[in-house]
Amino acid sequence: MTRKITFRSAGTSLLALALAMPIAMSPLAAPPAHALFGIGGGPFIVYDPTNHAENLLTAARALEQINNQIAQLQNEAQMLINQARNLANLPYSALQQIQQNVSRTQQLLAQAQNIAFDVQSIDQMFQQDYGNLSLTATDQQLIAEARSRWENTVGGLQDAMRVQAGVVGNIDANRAEMSALVGQSQNAVGALQATQAGNQLLALQSQQLSDLIAVISANGRANALTEAERATAAEQGRIQRERFLTPGAGYQPGNAQMFN
């Protein structure tokens, strides 16, 4: 009987100890590290929550640094790609067509009839045909000089029309080149290609301005020849009128023999 009561007391003590163990092992009273021992007293698992949290934070920071480095390398690679694009040359050139248009207009100007676009030639021709009318020239000489001046005027008008026709012929080629250059500028992959396309557009515009200058020069030359012919014709008319109104030697009597 006494042994039975003792067993119950021991069981009650063990039950009270089992109920008290969770309170003793709670986080508030537990040390930072816990060790559970397996059968035989050997180590089984060691767990440190603080160390584990620090390790996770360190790993997260290392991963973030790696991601930042990867992003930096990607940005540097993209920067190098953009620099390569900015240094790429434009795979199109309108220089040959522009030079051909300019050369064609220059050839038309060089084919000017009688009086070329040259300062010495103009001075010599004006001194010969326009600025030196002789009062003692015969009627045949005056007619020949007037015809020469008329030929110069007609030639100047023809030259002006030929230059105009040549410039009009360049319009279609300029339109095609302008369309191609605008397309190249819009599709440029870098700053250098866009700049080169813009420079070629400026060159095309300069060629069109040179054509305009050629037309104005040819028209001015034709107008100048027309005015010079008119002024010289007025001077020649004055000379002929003065010669007509100048009294002659009159009638001089002489001997006439009608029969042998």
CA dihedral 113, 115, 117, 121 (to 10 degrees): 140
- pLDDT at residue number 29: 42
pTM of the predicted model over 0.85: no
- Residue entry with tokens 């590290």: 33
208 neighbors 102 (Cβ within 8 angstroms): no
3-state helix, strand, coil in the chain (%, to 5): 75, 5, 25
Tokens of 129: 């045909």
d(CA 174, CA 98): 8
pLDDT tens for the chain, residues 1 to 260: 444 444 344 444 444 444 444 444 444 444 444 444 445 555 556 667 888 888 889 999 999 999 999 999 999 998 888 888 888 888 899 999 999 999 999 999 999 988 888 888 888 888 888 877 777 788 888 889 899 999 999 999 999 999 999 999 999 999 999 999 999 999 988 889 999 999 999 999 999 999 999 999 999 999 999 999 999 999 888 888 887 787 766 667 777 777 76
Residue 237 three-state SS: helix
d(CA 188, CA 197): 8
d(CA 213, CA 250): 59
Indicate left, alpha or beta for 40 from its phi (over 0: left) and psi (-120 to 50: alpha).
left
Strand boundaries in the chain, DSSP class E? 34-37, 43-47
